[in-house]
Amino acid sequence: MRAIKRTIQVLWLPLVFAGMIWHFSWYAVHGPRVGSLAREAKAQEIATARITLAEAEAERDALERRVAGLRGDRIDRDQLDERARALLNMVGKDELVVPYGPGKRLY
């Protein structure tokens, strides 16, 4: 019985530290916020967000180019006419309307 007590007294501290080392090592790999697996997932999210950002910036640039034709001293008359007709939902008497899909462009 004394040998068992002596063994427990000698081994409890190393076992506690070994458990703590295992615990922190496991969380270093599998942790939800700081683990290496979580870091890889965040890197993938960042890459996806950058692609989305690039698409949004391209769309913004296209809209800015379109709006630039309606501003200032150099108004694009064709674009102004197109915009006015779209907002007022009107056409001339001698014009023909050909509908096409919302995602398709004529040019």
Q: What is the pTM of this model?
A: 0.50
Q: Does the structure show a pLDDT above 60 at 107?
A: no
Is 50 in contact with 57 (CB distance < 8 Å)?
Answer: no
Closest CA to 83 of 100, 98, 63: 63
Give mean pLDDT, residues 67-86.
76
Instruction: Establish if 5 belongs to a structural domain.
Output: no
Range of the domain at 56: 11-88
Instruction: Establish if 97 belongs to a structural domain.
Output: no
Percent of the chain with pLDDT over 70: 96
Q: Does the structure show a pLDDT above 90 at 39?
A: no
The values of phi and psi at residue 93, to 5°, are -65, -35
How many domains in the chain? 1
Instruction: Establish if 6 belongs to a structural domain.
Output: no
Residue 26 confidence class, pLDDT cut points 50, 70, 90 = confident
Is 31 in contact with 38 (CB distance < 8 Å)?
Answer: yes
